[in-house]
């Protein structure tokens, strides 16, 4: 495997890392009988703590579904999902909501921010909802890390797309969640703004020890991760550690070719 | 064609959202149609009754009213001698003539002295059982009355009061009290809307009602075959000469109809007025609905424009949707209107007025008017949003979010609104300071309209300010959820403004009327304390009937009373020194009256009125016609001779009690009016000369024999006044409830559409950990803020109107401004609950949204 280390790396990858989230034999199916569609087909996966994991795969491979299930946004048909020591499969809406609020951060592809709230209000929203006081120092550090210090009073419609996504990143980081899920967080950005946001995610893993899971179909975005999982037809078909954009692209082409010949 | 198809599709795609607007149209149309059907049905019922009961030609004594009612100030009906019947019978073209005796100046009681008279205001009629009545009524049990101790009662009264044959009842008249037993029950063959009817034999009727035999109150004349009513009338008039009133059946029915028509018209227009208010409020709802639909469809419309739809087509497609809404809403409304009419009939039934659904009258104009009104109002209301839709640029198809609000149009609107509100405030000020009631009410009307329109126009601007204030005061406690609710309410001030304004209209009227009502009570109470010296007030039929001589005697015989004074109304024609002639009632009183009612005099003394041939005049009259103390007026008493009375006092009309009344002494009136024509007493006032409780009890006992007579001490009187005004207000509030319900539908509508608009936001917040409960609370708080915003505007505006009206009415003696804070506070707090209620369904639906689907929504 070629390595083109262009980005700072988290120290030592060999050692046993604690597991932040774990899926066992997870099945997610829609419909029944003839029209039954299996989005996830007995998936086993461990998300390592303090690492940046990317989930890749072609459209319809089930990558978004996997993320939604891991994040407690969607229910599974069978199987178990644990977040650290908590089993989240089978939890009722109330507990799931609280879990999302207190232990998970989200960055969506678009429409991440409430238009009525200013940038800083958006950042502290999850803590406000929970009725918690944000940790001042930490907040300042996060805001500084994502470079938004001068724009905290702005409303989302006064910010560029890249700035909006940076606010979303800041929000995800501010509450110090155990794990952050990103659903194509750079999908709507141009490459420069995308690189910026991905840089922040990378730094938050390296400098702040954050755990991040990101769904993407962009090989460049995936190359920021420590580990890339490949999904196809609802199964994990491959993985890659310390990826580079070229390597990821090659692997994708491989799948594509195989997909076409099969 | 395409336009129609897209409109149809859009309409059905949003049928849920259209439903609330349709309900608003439905309610307003239903109220209009219900009113029309109900009043038409009343007309039909009474027409049938009048046509059935009148004989071909009726002869009555002079002094009876056109409608044949025989009440008179003396408590006895005007009569004609029995010989008239013979004369008529001998007239050419007369097949049959029969003397009738009947009177409505009666009180009928059962064995326990409970009134058998209807409580609905319908008359109690006691008369002789005659051939004409025998045609329109059927004896269903027992026999017709014969002899002094028998009485026949109509079936409705029998049912209502559970009477049986043989039960004893008492008939109280000016002559005295007569007891008889129920000998028979007769049922109307047409619907009897509510009158209670009692029949005696002719001799007994004459004795009880008039006090002597040999007289009748009228003659029912039946035409010989082939003789027309008009011809018959001519013949009879020719035979009798002047001095009698001769009317054909048609004339009697017309007179009856005219009298009833006046009352029905007042009722009809009052109810249509409230329907109009509901329509006005409904317009806001429709405007809001279409504005939101257009806003939501901005990209779609942009696309339509991009692929070549013209502005006109887009505009028209929205209007066609409105047309559909109008047609559907109004059609349902017409149906519901008939239901409302039936409901009103049932309600009247519960209040003692019988109307039969068999008489239900739906004129073709009723549904036509309902449909026309509903459709026109809906399409007009949708016009602005439709125009806005037409203005959407094709570029909107490419933009991410809906077009931002046009800030400049908002500023212009706010400016116009401020100017109008200012002008309205100015005219209210003019109204408050006017010294002519007529000018003042014109200014008041103008001010009300201008401030209302102005506030509606500044609504969005005010929403931005007031919602922040309300938010700071009420929502901050709810932390971030409250803050988001506040921001959401502020997000589209135009929408919040319109939603709140709809609520404002109804509540402004409530506040205004409650201020006027309670000021009225406070002023009257204040006046009562200042100028009424009497401790007890005795009246019959709440002042509508005169007291019988027997009752007056019973009162005067009660021990412990001082300053007993009677009050009689004696109509007269005044001839002033300058030759001017005025029809005017004088009030004849006892010398103790000035102690019971203290009047301020501008010149002369009130007590001098009780000298020989003296009178007083009110200051308004005196000022207007230049009458002063020392003048002598010619007073021609309607019931007696002409007198020349000297003016000895001018009483100030700056009062609410006895305003404008001219007094004279009963002894003076007695010199010119023969005893048998002297009007009965309207009321008796008295002071307490012993232990108040004991005297009060004794007085009540003294009048117990006639349940139509009530004794009130000062506390009772005040309470009675409060209750009367309270009842009136409650009725008006009930009718205003319609407008408020429509406004609440508007709040529901706004919230429901906001929730749909914010689906993605809600999904995001739920993903970030907002619990369902928090989400519901957020929507509820938004709703409460909107409702309170409307309440604040409405109550403020209404109190302003009310205070102005009071200042104006101070000219009429309503001197005290009393703001009913409990009512105002109650309405304010109630509005918060209304807000909660309105948010129930939208909040529930928002909370039930699937998080993932919500986020994925476009």
B767:A106 CB<8 A? yes
Tell me the C-alpha distance between B327 and B371, whole Å: 7
Beta carbons within 8 Å of B110's beta carbon, 6+ residues apart: B116, B161, B163, B167, B168, B169, B170
Reported as type and span, the H/E element at residue A101 is helix A93-103
Which of B481, B771, B852 comes nearest A97 by C-beta?
B771
Which of A94, A106, A171 comes nearest B771 by C-beta?
A94
Looking at residue A5, its pLDDT comes to 34
Beta carbons within 8 Å of B308's beta carbon, 6+ residues apart: none
Mean pLDDT of B18-39: 88
Q: Which of chain A's residues have a Cβ under 8 Å away from the Cβ of B766?
A: 97
Nearest to A52 by CA among A231, A230, A222, A173: A222
DSSP string, B614-657: EEEEEHHHHHHHT--TT-EEEEEETTS-EEEEEEEEEE---SSS
Looking at residue B153, its pLDDT comes to 94
B855:A108 CB<8 A? yes
CATH class of the domain whose range is A19-261: alpha beta
Looking at residue B76, its pLDDT comes to 84
Please determine, for residue A17, whether its predicted confidence score (pLDDT) is greater than 80: no
Tell me the C-alpha distance between B263 and B342, whole Å: 20
Which of B768, B772, B777, B848 has the most A C-beta neighbours within 10 Å, making it the best mutation to test the interface with A?
B768
Looking at residue B408, its pLDDT comes to 63
Tell me the C-alpha distance between B601 and B720, whole Å: 29
Segment A168-223, tens digit of pLDDT: 989 988 888 999 999 888 888 888 888 888 988 998 899 888 999 999 988 899 99
Mean pLDDT of B615-641: 90
A98:B760 CB<8 A? no
Segment B417-461, tens digit of pLDDT: 999 999 999 999 999 888 887 888 899 999 999 999 999 999 888
Would you say B84 and B52 are in contact if contact means Cβ atoms under 8 Å apart? Answer: no
Which of B765, B769, B855 comes nearest A98 by C-beta?
B769
Structure-token pair, residue B231: 């011809």
pLDDT more than 70, % of chain A = 91
Structure-token pair, residue B541: 């039929």
Which of B769, B851, B855 has the most A C-beta neighbours within 10 Å, making it the best mutation to test the interface with A?
B769
Looking at residue A85, its pLDDT comes to 86
Segment A127-148, tens digit of pLDDT: 888 888 888 888 888 888 778 8
Closest residue of B to A100, CA-based? B769
B488 in A contact zone (CB under 8 Å): yes
Which of A128, A157, A174, A175 has the most B C-beta neighbours within 10 Å, making it the best mutation to test the interface with B?
A128
Please determine, for residue A15, whether its predicted confidence score (pLDDT) is greater than 60: no
Please determine, for residue A16, whether its predicted confidence score (pLDDT) is greater than 50: no
A100:B769 CB<8 A? yes
Tell me the C-alpha distance between B360 and B341, whole Å: 9
**Interface residues from chain A to B (CB-CB < 8 Å):** 68, 73-74, 93-94, 97-98, 100-102, 104, 106, 108, 111-112, 114-117, 125-126, 128-131, 171
Nearest to B748 by CA among B10, B26, B21: B21
A126:B768 CB<8 A? yes
B764 in A contact zone (CB under 8 Å): yes
Tell me the C-alpha distance between B247 and B250, whole Å: 8
Helix ranges (DSSP H) in B395-492 = 407-433, 437-470, 479-491
For residue B1, with 0-12 CB atoms within 10 Å meaning exposed, 13-18 middle and 19 or more buried, which class applies?
exposed
Q: SS3 for B215?
A: strand
SS (H, E, C) B682-704: CEEEEEECCCHHHHHHHHHHHCC
Structure-token pair, residue A169: 């990143």
- DSSP E strand boundaries for A110-259: 179-183, 212-215, 227-232, 235-241
Mean pLDDT of A67-72: 90
Q: SS3 for B841?
A: helix
A102:B487 CB<8 A? no
Tell me the C-alpha distance between B675 and B679, whole Å: 9
Q: Which of chain B's residues have a Cβ under 8 Å away from the Cβ of A73?
A: 767, 851-852
CA distances (Å), origin B682, targets B68, B75, B549, B561: 23, 11, 11, 18
B403 in A contact zone (CB under 8 Å): no
B715 in A contact zone (CB under 8 Å): no
Half-sphere exposure of B640 (CA within 13 A, CB side): 21
* Phi and psi angles of residue B233, each rounded to the nearest 5 degrees, phi first: -60, -45
Q: Residue B385's CB: how many other CB atoms inside 10 A? A: 24
Nearest to B219 by CA among B111, B415, B423, B60: B60
pLDDT more than 90, % of chain B = 36
Tell me the C-alpha distance between B87 and B768, whole Å: 101
Please determine, for residue B694, whether its predicted confidence score (pLDDT) is greater than 60: yes
B167 in A contact zone (CB under 8 Å): no
Mean pLDDT of B671-678: 88
A73:B767 CB<8 A? yes
Which of B479, B484, B852 comes nearest A73 by C-beta?
B852
Q: Residue A157's CB: how many other CB atoms inside 10 A? A: 11
- Rounded to two decimals, the ipTM of the complex is 0.82
A116:B480 CB<8 A? no
Segment B739-752, tens digit of pLDDT: 888 888 888 888 88
B767:A100 CB<8 A? yes
B479:A112 CB<8 A? no
Half-sphere exposure of B314 (CA within 13 A, CB side): 28
Beta carbons within 8 Å of B489's beta carbon, 6+ residues apart: B463, B467, B471, B496, B782, B785, B786, B789
Tell me the C-alpha distance between B447 and B813, whole Å: 22
A129:B767 CB<8 A? no
B65: left (phi over 0), alpha (psi -120 to 50) or beta: beta
Structure-token pair, residue B522: 């406070």
**Pairing outcome for strands B581-589 and B662-665:** parallel
**Pairing outcome for strands B80-81 and B57-61:** unpaired
Structure-token pair, residue B423: 């002008």
B768:A108 CB<8 A? no
Name the residue with higher pLDDT: B553 or B853.
B553
Tell me the C-alpha distance between B35 and B13, whole Å: 34
Nearest to B95 by CA among B220, B6, B1, B182: B220
A98:B771 CB<8 A? yes
B768:A129 CB<8 A? yes
Would you say B330 and B282 are in contact if contact means Cβ atoms under 8 Å apart? Answer: no
Segment B255-293, tens digit of pLDDT: 888 888 888 888 888 888 888 888 888 888 888 888 888
Give whichever of B122-131, B265-274, B750-759, B775-784 has the largest mean pLDDT. Answer: B775-784
In chain B, which among 637-676 make CB contacts under 8 A with chain A? none
Band of pLDDT at residue B304, cut at 50, 70 and 90: confident
Please determine, for residue A1, whether its predicted confidence score (pLDDT) is greater than 50: no
Mean confidence (pLDDT) of chain B: 87
Helix ranges (DSSP H) in B221-352 = 229-240, 249-296, 298-306, 311-350
Which of A94, A101, A116 comes nearest B768 by C-beta?
A101
Q: SS3 for A117?
A: coil
Q: SS3 for A184?
A: coil
């Amino acid at each position: 495997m070629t390595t083109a280390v262009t980005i700072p790396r988290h120290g030592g990858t060999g050692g046993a890392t604690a597991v932040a989230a774990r899926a066992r034999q997870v099945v997610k199916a829609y419909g029944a009988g003839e029209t039954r569609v299996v989005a996830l087909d007995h998936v086993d996966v461990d998300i390592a703590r303090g690492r940046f994991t990317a989930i890749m795969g072609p459209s319809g491979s089930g990558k978004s579904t996997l993320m939604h299930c891991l994040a407690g946004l969607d229910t599974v048909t069978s199987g178990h999902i644990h977040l650290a020591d908590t089993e989240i499969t089978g939890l009722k809406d109330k507990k799931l909501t609280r879990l999302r609020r207190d232990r998970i951060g989200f960055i969506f592809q678009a429409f991440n921010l409430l238009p009525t709230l200013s940038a800083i209000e958006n950042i502290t929203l999850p803590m406000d909802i929970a009725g918690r006081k944000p940790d001042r120092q930490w907040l300042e550090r996060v805001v500084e890390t994502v470079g938004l210090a001068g724009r905290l009073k702005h409303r989302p419609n006064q910010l560029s797309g890249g700035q909006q996504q940076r606010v979303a990143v800041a929000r995800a980081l501010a509450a110090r969640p155990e794990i952050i899920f990103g659903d194509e967080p750079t999908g709507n950005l141009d490459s420069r703004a995308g690189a910026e946001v991905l840089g922040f995610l990378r730094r938050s893993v390296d400098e702040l020890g954050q755990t991040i899971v990101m769904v993407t179909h962009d090989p460049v975005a995936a190359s920021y991760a420590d580990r890339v999982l490949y999904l196809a037809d609802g199964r994990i078909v491959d993985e890659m550690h310390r990826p580079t954009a070229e390597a990821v692209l090659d692997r994708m082409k491989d799948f594509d070719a195989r997909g076409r010949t099969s | 064609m395409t336009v129609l198809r897209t409109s149809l599709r859009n309409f059905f795609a949003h049928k849920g959202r259209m439903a609330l607007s349709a309900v608003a149209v439905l309610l307003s149309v239903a109220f209009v149609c219900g009113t029309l059907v109900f009043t038409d049905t009343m007309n039909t019922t009474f027409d049938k009754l009048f046509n059935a009961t009148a004989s071909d030609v009726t002869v009555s004594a002079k002094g009876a009213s056109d409608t044949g009612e025989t009440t008179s100030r003396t408590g006895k009906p005007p009569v004609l001698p029995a010989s008239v019947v013979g004369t008529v019978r001998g007239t050419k073209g007369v097949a049959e003539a029969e003397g009738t005796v009947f009177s409505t100046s009666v009180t009928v009681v059962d064995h326990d002295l409970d009134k058998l008279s209807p409580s609905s205001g319908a008359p109690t009629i006691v008369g002789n059982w005659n051939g004409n009545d025998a045609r329109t009524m059927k004896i269903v049990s027992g026999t017709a009355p014969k002899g002094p101790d028998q009485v026949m009662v109509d079936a409705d009264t029998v049912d209502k009061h559970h009477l049986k044959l043989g039960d004893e009842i008492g008939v109280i008249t000016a002559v005295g009290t007569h007891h008889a037993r129920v000998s028979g029950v007769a049922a109307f063959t047409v619907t009897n809307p509510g009158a209670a009817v009692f029949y005696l034999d002719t001799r007994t009727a004459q004795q009880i009602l008039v006090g002597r035999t040999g007289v009748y109150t009228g003659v029912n004349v039946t035409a010989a075959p082939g003789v027309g009513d008009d011809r018959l009338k001519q013949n009879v008039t020719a035979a009798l000469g002047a001095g009698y009133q001769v009317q054909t059946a048609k004339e009697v029915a017309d007179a009856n109809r005219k009298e009833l028509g006046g009352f029905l018209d007042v009722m009809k227009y009052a109810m249509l007025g409230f329907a109009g208010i509901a329509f006005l409020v409904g317009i806001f709802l429709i405007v809001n609905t279409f504005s939101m639909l257009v806003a939501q469809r901005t990209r779609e419309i942009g696309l339509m424009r991009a692929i070549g739809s013209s502005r006109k087509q887009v505009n028209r497609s929205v209007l066609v949707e409105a047309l559909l809404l109008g047609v559907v809403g109004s059609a349902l409304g017409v149906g519901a209107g008939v239901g409302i009419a039936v409901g009103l009939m049932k309600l009247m039934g519960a209040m003692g007025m019988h109307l039969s659904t068999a008489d239900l009258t739906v004129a073709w104009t009723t549904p036509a008017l309902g449909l026309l009104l509903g459709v026109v109002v809906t399409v007009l209301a949708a016009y602005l949003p439709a125009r806005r839709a037409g203005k959407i640029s094709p570029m909107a198809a490419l933009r991410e979010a809906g077009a931002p609000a046009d800030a400049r149009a908002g500023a212009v609107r706010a400016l116009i609104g401020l100017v109008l509100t200012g002008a309205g405030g100015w005219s209210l000020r003019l109204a408050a300071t006017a010294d002519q009631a007529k000018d003042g009410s014109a200014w008041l009307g103008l001010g009300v309209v201008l401030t209302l329109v102005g506030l509606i126009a500044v609504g969005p601007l005010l929403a931005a300010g007031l919602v922040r204030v309300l938010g700071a005061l009420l929502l901050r406690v709810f932390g971030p959820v409250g803050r988001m609710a506040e921001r959401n309410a502020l997000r589209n001030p135009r929408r919040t403004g319109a939603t709140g304004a709809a609520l404002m209209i109804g509540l402004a009227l409530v506040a205004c009327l409650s201020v006027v009502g309670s000021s009225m009570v406070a002023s009257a109470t204040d006046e009562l304390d200042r100028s009424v010296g009497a401790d007890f007030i005795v009246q019959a039929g709440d002042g509508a009937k005169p007291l019988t001589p027997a009752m007056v005697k019973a009162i005067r015989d009660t021990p412990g009373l001082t300053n007993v004074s009677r009050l009689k109304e004696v109509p007269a024609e005044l001839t002033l020194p300058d030759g001017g002639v005025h029809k005017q009632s004088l009030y004849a009183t006892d010398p103790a009256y000035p102690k019971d009612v203290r009047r301020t005099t501008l010149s002369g003394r009130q007590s001098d009125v009780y000298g020989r041939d003296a009178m007083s005049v009110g200051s308004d009259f005196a000022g207007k016609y230049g009458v002063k103390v020392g003048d002598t007026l010619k007073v021609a008493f309607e019931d007696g001779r002409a007198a020349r009375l000297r003016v000895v006092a001018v009483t100030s009309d700056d009062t609410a009690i006895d305003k404008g009344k001219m007094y004279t002494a009963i002894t003076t009136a007695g010199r010119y009016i023969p005893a048998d024509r002297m009007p009965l007493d309207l009321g008796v006032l008295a002071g307490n000369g012993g232990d108040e409780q004991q005297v009060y009890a004794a007085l009540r006992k003294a009048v117990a024999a006639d349940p139509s007579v009530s004794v009130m001490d000062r506390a009772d009187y005040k309470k009675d006044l409060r209750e009367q005004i309270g009842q009136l207000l409650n009725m008006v509030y009930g009718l205003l409830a319609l407008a408020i319900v429509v406004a609440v539908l508007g709040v529901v509508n706004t919230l429901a559409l906001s929730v749909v608009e914010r689906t993605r936001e809600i999904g995001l917040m739920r993903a970030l950990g907002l619990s369902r409960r928090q989400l519901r609370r957020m929507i509820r708080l938004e709703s409460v803020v909107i409702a309170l915003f409307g309440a604040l505007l409405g109550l403020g505006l209404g109190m302003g109107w009310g205070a102005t009206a009071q200042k104006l009415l101070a000219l009429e003696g309503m001197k005290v401004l009393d703001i009913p804070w409990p009512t105002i506070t109650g309405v304010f707090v109630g509005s918060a609950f209304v807000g909660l209620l309105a948010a129930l369904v939208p909040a529930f639906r928002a909370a039930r949204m699937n998080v993932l689907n919500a986020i994925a929504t476009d």
